[in-house]
Structure formats: structure tokens, C-alpha cells
Structure 1
């Protein structure tokens, strides 16, 4: 299940002043939050907490979901500079380590994205009732996947995204509880029981690692 396409593919952002035409930009380099992802017409789904560090090129994911009628839990650490990904099991103190064959791409609106609309989610009768957002659309050259991404006007925070390829079908992502910054940077450090683990022969990219 190509669920967490949000980082480097589906997380987009924009931030401009009122009265100006929105322009593509990157999301905050340090971001914490939660997300849900559904695919295969809702048959596959994931709830995940994430930590995103563009400075260190690191992503941490805690996931619970269902794929192919089976539930799963995952605790994954992606270290792009080191070129490795860890699948961590704290209960059994075991760790799987694979080579990560993926270049880190900061979350951003592609420069050739087209602004579809700017709307207020919720209400506009009084302050605090709504959220001003922009929706972007386009095609990613790497995958030829079509996307529709909604982000906040201020702060470059992702709200939702839709992504489609014939291989994946529609992948729908919703983001919530986003906070700028990382509360505990040690979450990006592999636990001690991962230190001497042997690297698996299989090389993964970001999406196949999640699979």
C-alpha cells in the first residue's frame, strides 16, 4: 500500500499575504503531526503519527492500519543521509535494517503546480470559524501521478491530498494536529538494540519500505 506518499510527494505548502496570488513554497522544515491514509476504495487504511526533519533529512513514523485484510503496527525510522531505514519492534527489542535507495525531497508544492482554488474551510461569519486554504493540482514527473493537494494559506501546513496512478488508484490523505517543531529529537536516533543488527540484502525506496 503506497500510503505515506505525503513526504516528498503529497505534502505541499504555500504561504502569502492576503490579496496576493499564492505561490508554491515548502512546508516548515520541522513538523510533527498525525495523518490518515486510505487506498483501494477504503479497503486499505492507515493512521499514523509522524515527525519530519528536513534539516537532518529524517522521518519517523508510528503506524497502525489494515492492508490486504490484515492489521499491522509499524515503527519506522528513515535516515536519508545515511541511506538506511529501520523497522523497530520495542516489545521484542528487534530491529530490521535495510538500505534506503531514495533521495530526500523536501515537502513542497512543485514549481509547476496550478492553483485550483482558494476557499475557507468551515465558516466565515466570525474570526476563528474557518481556515483559509489553497488547493493545488498537477502531475508529478517522476511517477506521472496526478495530485490534488490542499494546504493552509498561512504556515504552509498540509490539510489533505489526493493522488492517483493506475498502479495505486486513488490514495487519500488527511492531515491534522500539526505542530511546527520536534519535541524530542532523540526520536530520530535508533535504539541501542539496532546498533549491531545486520543490514538486509533487500534495498528499499521510501514507498516499498512502507509496504
Structure 2
């Protein structure tokens, strides 16, 4: 079984006195967890995001239908290619990527639900101010986004789907920048990888 966890989009926001939707930093890395309402899927992933080169790397582990999995995917949107990388076996699969790159940003038509402090507002450094946004995607799916007021850094996203119910993603250990940019290039052993069936990333998951 292969489980590919793919985010339709990373969503973040920034603001001032009157928060407005905006775009997050062009280079981000960090970690995230993802879980579904129907409890079929739970995953932990390390991510690297490069809006300048339109590249995303996801290194995942988790459980789907009570079975464990690991997965390493490199998405190159400009080339329209996704690599499935297996460092242990030194193997690589190449697939056509059927999706446009979407920068990490709150949709411009999102509605602000309100602001809150995560942690405590009792003293300096004890909390962080966040904004929560809501709206509908083009497929009429509802979403909720919580992001830092300053910096456009994602905290959590919730997205409603028919097969899983609400899918909740929580971000943490976010860092502006990428410590090893080479991780966003295909390994040398991927050069001779053959094209396999394409991947449609307008759905969150592709499972076999």
C-alpha cells in the first residue's frame, strides 16, 4: 500500500490592526501532523516549501486503516513532476504532476472569524497572537485557517472532505528558510526513473 499525503495548499495569513489575507514567506520548513475525522488516517511529516522554485518536499510516517507507512515525495511544479523517493532501497519513481503551484496564502475571499492568544497574554513571550479565517474553496468545501498575526506562519488548517470528514493539519517548529536546499532536488539515483501513472493533486490523497 502506498499512501501519499498531499496538501492542496499551505494556508497562512498576516495582519496589522485590521488583519487581511496575505502570503507567507517564500521559504519555509518545519513539521506537521495530519488527522482525519473518521480516524482512518494519522500522519507526521517534515516539510520543505520553496515558493520561488515552486518545490515541496514531504517526508512522512503514519497510519492508514491501522497499517503503518512511510513516504518521501518531492513535488516539482514547474517541471510537472513528482518523485517518490526511497533512500533505503536507493530507488525512485517518477510521476506526472497534474496540478498548478499555489503559494502559501489565505484565499483573498476568506472571512476573518476573530483573533486569539495561544498560550497566555499575562506576560511577554507567554503567548502568540493568531487570526482564524474561514471560507469556501472552489469545490464548495469549507475550511478553517489559524495563522500567526505577525509573520504569516501557519498554525492549523481544517478542510472538509466527503471521504474523510474534516482533515486537520497542525504545523509546528516552523522556520523561515531551508537549511539544506539540496533536499529540494532529485537524488542522483532518480535521473533514470521511468514515468509511471500520473498523480491528480486536486484530491488530498492517492491510495493504493
Q: Pairwise mapping of residues 55-94 of structure 1 onto structure 2 (< 5 A)?
A: 55-94=52-91
- TM superposition shift of 1:210: 5.2
- Equivalent pairs, count: 204
1:100 partnered with 2:97: yes
* 1:108-155 superposed Cα distances (whole Å, 9 cap, x missing partner): 1101000001011111111011110000000001x2210011000000
Match of 2:12 in 1: 13
Which blocks of at least 5 consecutive residues in structure 2 are unaligned? Answer: none
* Rounded Cα–Cα distance in structure 2 between residues aligned with 1:138 and 1:110: 8
Q: Pairwise mapping of residues 1-211 of structure 1 onto structure 2 (< 5 A)?
A: 3-5=5-7, 8=9, 11-17=10-16, 20-141=17-138, 143-200=139-196, 202-206=197-201, 207=203, 211=207
Alignment RMSD: 1.6
2:38 is paired with a residue whose SS is helix
* Rounded Cα–Cα distance in structure 1 between residues aligned with 2:68 and 2:93: 19
* Rounded Cα–Cα distance in structure 1 between residues aligned with 2:168 and 2:26: 23
* Rounded Cα–Cα distance in structure 2 between residues aligned with 1:16 and 1:99: 37
Structure with the higher fraction of residues in helix conformation: 1
TM-score normalised by the chain length of structure 2: 0.93
- TM superposition shift of 1:40: 4.1
TM-score normalised by the chain length of structure 1: 0.91
